[in-house]
Amino acid sequence: MAGIAIENVRKSFGSMTALKELSLNVEDGEFVALLGPSGCGKTTLLRIVAGLETRTSGRILVGGRDVSDLPPRERKLAMVFQNYAVFPHMTVYENIAFGLRMAKADRTKVERQVQRAAGLMHIEHLLGRHPGQLSGGQRQRVAVARALAVEPSVLLMDEPLSNLDALLRMEMRAELKAVLREAGTTTLYVTHDQTEAMGLADRIAVMHGGRIEQLAPPMAVYRTPATVFVGSFVGAPPMNFLRCQAADGAVAIGALKLACPRNSGEIVMGVRAEDLLPATAGTGLPFEVRVVEPLGSHALLTGTAHRQQIRVVYAGERDVSAGETLHLAPIAGRICWMDAADGRAIEGTT
Amino acid sequence: MQARPAYLPYLLLAPSVLFLAALFLYPLAETILLSVRTAEGFSFDNYRRMAGDLNFASALGNTFLLVGVVVPLQIALALGLAQMLTKITRGREIVLWVWTIPMGVSDLAAGLVWLALLTDRGYVNSALFALGLIDGPTGWLSYETPVTLFVAIVLAEVWRATAIVLVILVAGFGLIPKEYGEAAEIFGATPWQRFTRVTLPLLKPSLQTALILRTVLAFEVFAVVFALGGRNFPVLVSEAYVWQFENQSYAVAAAYAVVVMAISLAATAIYLRVLRVKPEARL
Ligand SMILES: Nc1ncnc2c1ncn2[C@@H]1O[C@H](COP(=O)(O)OP(=O)(O)O)[C@@H](O)[C@H]1O
Ligand SMILES: [Mg+2]
């Protein structure tokens, strides 16, 4: 039984604040992804949980035990490093066996768990080699296998799939998810790739500038972003945000009239590209198409509406060409209203 | 861009090669020749004379004893100091700089400094006398006190020549990315296990350089030993010196020189073999 509790953790490097008073609970057996752009503090947070970095203030609890001041080896967790950190002087086998050897596991247990971890990562054929003879992707899998081999109850991973090619990454993602779910491993997983976070996590913590902007299940983050930042960071293409003028509790853009939670003043309307459907001419939101990108199952249209750039996923029958004007209507209930001043979702609108 | 002729690097290296050949290989060949030439032609008579001398066995034994004590001591000390240096960030350069001061002192000067400290009426004697720990001037460097003489020589050598090992090892530590130590720590290694399982193996190349350099120089130890012990503590090079300048027997001195060189080469070969890092296991 080992959840992770991060309580009011702050971290500054000199005058630079990397983490601003941050709290996060990862339940026992849960998979939480820390998602955010490069430099937002994901690695720093993970290293603080691991005990490799000191915190400026706050507490870390693992399995209810305050580990804030314990050295890493006493925190009883495993970690996959962003730059692998597989030992160059040891064979792949010895690398994977390292944690077990430190725990003084007996020979048969070492053999069994190394083989199992290597099998999960498809690197059984590399066990006799040294990391220097492997590709980046293979090394990364060794690093993951080394962490899985100790059958940890808490696992920290820092972009563990970033160096795999697209196909392998998808395969590993599915496999990792299955393995960790089956083992009931509590996982904190750092990534800047939103598809990875969406696909793997039970909940996603979207980080921005040393803060958690939103902590919610993947679809909730996708459908109802807590801030404009979350909406534009999660999802490809990013969520469209249109600044509009509210009057009498509604906004009117072209022929489109929608009730909104502000009586007057500026308000931001957020809507996903696939939630804008073609409407009959003369109704809906006029959208001037500038670029058409056919993507097989649908086309991605980029253009302007209400003098602002938006993207639309178009799956209609008729071919659309640049220069055309379409009329769009949002799917009911899929609009997120955001405060124009602070970019936060307006409570009770979704 | 115009292709450079293939011989250009050789041309540019030629002066240094010639320089080395003139100032190193030639005298080396001369020395070897000198050691095997006798009035009647080529023979090992000079080596027989050298080995037959009363002092030869003790010089050989003393030299190995000194190397066997001093070099491991220096490596251990430098490893400890370098490890501590990696733990501090502020003032690191200053500490390193202070520790390397002895490197700038010539070995004869170092020997004389320690002589001034340890001689019958030296600072240490005066201090111990002032503290009432001894009754009067005590000799530590005579043939009657071989143990203290040996300890004094070891002390002086460690003081004088540990810095070079330290500098090499500090550079070596700097080449090891800190993630390896961190990974070891995460997976349960104690500080000692981290040191023996991760740091030391990754430090091998620097360790090899430091060991070769220190061992070769330690086999050539002379000035410090001569300053402190004179002929009370014969070593190979001091015997060569005695044969050269007191006995005026250049050929036997040359034989000593060749022996020292052979030992150094053997030591180097052993280190190269034992501490080699397989290409695939490199950092
Ligand atoms: N050791 C450090 N010293 C100073 N600044 C650091 C250090 N480590 C990280 N930072 C800074 O903290 C911020 C967060 O870094 P990091 O956690 O690595 O981001 P991420 O993993 O999300 O890309 C960055 O601005 C980075 O420059
Ligand atoms: Mg990072």
Quickly tell me which residue has 């039970």 as its tokens.
Answer: A202
Q: Decide: A243 and A266 in contact? Cβ < 8 Å.
A: yes
**A21-39 mean pLDDT:** 95
How do A203-208 and A31-35 pair as beta strands?
parallel
Cβ of A261 below 6 Å from ligand 1: no
Q: Decide: A158 and A133 in contact? Cβ < 8 Å.
A: no
How do A256-259 and A285-294 pair as beta strands?
unpaired
Is B2 a residue whose pLDDT tops 80?
no
3-state helix vs strand vs coil in chain A, percent to 5: 30, 35, 35
Q: Decide: A60 and A6 in contact? Cβ < 8 Å.
A: yes
Environment class of residue B209 by beta-carbon count within 10 Å: exposed (0-12), middle (13-18) or buried (19+)?
A: middle
B89 touches chain A (CB under 8 A): no
Check CB contact under 8 Å for B186 and A79. yes
CA of A39 to the centre of ligand 2 (A): 7
* CA atoms of A134 and A120, how far apart (whole Å): 17
Most B CBs within 10 A among A90, A102, A104, A129, hence the mutation to make, goes to: A102
Give the Å distances, CA to CA, from A94 to A99, A125, A231, B270: 9, 14, 44, 27
**A324-335 mean pLDDT:** 91
**A189-205 mean pLDDT:** 94
Cβ of A18 below 6 Å from ligand 1: yes
pLDDT tens digit string along B161-180?
Answer: 999 999 999 999 999 999 99
Nearest to A297 by CA among A271, A316, A269, A323: A316
Is A317 a residue whose pLDDT tops 90?
no
Q: Decide: A61 and A218 in contact? Cβ < 8 Å.
A: no
The predicted pLDDT at position A133 comes to: 92
How far is the alpha carbon of A93 from chain B, nearest alpha carbon, in Å? 13
**B112-129 mean pLDDT:** 86
**Count of beta carbons in the 10 Å neighbourhood of residue A43:** 19
The CATH number of domain A237-339 is 2.40.50.140: yes
C-alpha dihedral over A210, A216, A217, A220, to 10 degrees?
-110
Classify residue B220 by its DSSP letter: T
Give the Å distances, CA to CA, from A276 to A73, A232, A329, B52, B251: 52, 16, 5, 103, 100
* CA atoms of A170 and A198, how far apart (whole Å): 12
Sheet of A211-216, strand order: A78-80, A154-158, A186-191, A31-35, A203-208, A211-216
ipTM over 0.85: yes
The predicted pLDDT at position A109 comes to: 96
**B246-275 mean pLDDT:** 93
Check CB contact under 8 Å for A52 and B187. no
Is B1 a residue whose pLDDT tops 80?
no
Most A CBs within 10 A among B89, B187, B207, hence the mutation to make, goes to: B187
Cβ of A39 below 6 Å from ligand 1: yes
Is A347 a residue whose pLDDT tops 80?
no
Q: Decide: A180 and A32 in contact? Cβ < 8 Å.
A: no
**Atom of ligand 1 at shortest range from CA of A46:** 17
Q: Kindly list the structural domains of chain B, giving each domain's residue range(s) and its CATH number in brackets, ordered by start.
A: 43-281 (1.10.3720.10)
CATH of A4-227 among 3.40.50.2000, 2.40.30.10, 3.40.50.9100, 3.40.50.300: 3.40.50.300
**B138-156 mean pLDDT:** 87
CA of A236 to the centre of ligand 2 (A): 21
Q: Which two tokens stand for residue B196?
A: 């023996």
Task: Report which protein residue has its CA nearest ligand 1's atom 18.
Answer: A43
How far is the alpha carbon of B180 from chain A, nearest alpha carbon, in Å? 5
Most B CBs within 10 A among A79, A81, A89, hence the mutation to make, goes to: A89
Report chain B residues whose CB lies below 8 A from the CB of A103: 188
Give the Å distances, CA to CA, from B251 to B221, B264, B281: 21, 20, 47
Pick the more confident residue, B131 or B193: B193
The predicted pLDDT at position A309 comes to: 95
A64 Cβ neighbours under 8 A, 6+ residues apart: A1, A3, A5
B37 Cβ neighbours under 8 A, 6+ residues apart: B251
CA of A37 to the centre of ligand 1 (A): 12
**Atom of ligand 1 at shortest range from CA of A41:** 17
Q: Which helix (H) or strand (E) holds A148?
A: helix A136-149
Pick the more confident residue, B24 or A130: A130
The predicted pLDDT at position A348 comes to: 64
pLDDT tens digit string along A65-115?
Answer: 999 999 999 999 999 998 899 999 999 999 999 999 999 999 999 999 999
* CA atoms of B259 and B262, how far apart (whole Å): 5
Cβ of A42 below 6 Å from ligand 1: yes
Closest-CA residue in chain B for A128?
Answer: B280
pLDDT above 90 covers a percentage of chain A that reads 77
The backbone torsions φ and ψ at residue A193, rounded to the nearest 5 degrees and listed phi first, read: -100, 110
- With the C-alpha atoms ordered A191, A197, A203, A205, is the resulting torsion angle positive or negative? positive
Cβ of A338 below 6 Å from ligand 1: no
CA of A18 to the centre of ligand 1 (A): 6
Report chain B residues whose CB lies below 8 A from the CB of A72: 182, 185-186
pTM of the model: 0.85
Is B106 a residue whose pLDDT tops 90?
no
Helix A92-102 / helix A136-149 crossing angle, nearest 10 deg: 20
How far is the alpha carbon of A87 from chain B, nearest alpha carbon, in Å? 6
DSSP-based three-state secondary structure for A339: strand
Cβ of A16 below 6 Å from ligand 1: yes
How far is the alpha carbon of B176 from chain A, nearest alpha carbon, in Å? 11
* pLDDT category of residue A214 using cuts at 50, 70 and 90: very high
Give the domain ranges of chain A: 4-227, 237-339
Quickly tell me which residue has 């002895």 as its tokens.
Answer: B102
Task: Report which protein residue has its CA nearest ligand 1's atom 11.
Answer: A18
**B44-61 mean pLDDT:** 90
